[in-house]
Amino acid sequence: MTVFDFALPSATLAWALLGVAVIGLTNLLVSFTLTLYVAMRSRQQNLTLLPGLLAQVLGLFLRHPWTFLLPPRARRAE
């Protein structure tokens, strides 16, 4: 029994998924930007340091991306 006779074109589905991904990335970018701004202000740091800090974080992310996603390994007690 078919309740709805509905066919969704694959191009429409692709555009919808792309839209959701763009919205998610925009949300992530805005959230982290505001968090970093508040953290810099709370530590009374000059906001002119921000581009250098972002360059260092981006460089670290490009060299070792898994450090941003996985927890650090537990060190063995000696």
- Whole-number percent of the chain with pLDDT over 70: 94
**Predicted TM-score (pTM) of this structure:** 0.60
Burial class (CB in 10 A: 0-12, 13-18, 19+), 50: middle
Nearest to 40 by CA among 29, 28, 52: 52
Q: What is the pLDDT of residue 59?
A: 95
**pLDDT exceeds 70 at position 47:** yes
61 touches 68 (CB < 8 A): yes
- Which is more confident, 72 or 31? 31
State residue 72 phi and psi, 5-degree precision.
-65, 150
Write down the pLDDT at residue 2: 53
User: At residue 74, does pLDDT exceed 90?
Assistant: no
Task: Please return the burial class of 40, using the count of CB atoms within 10 Å of its CB with bins 0-12, 13-18 and 19+.
Answer: middle
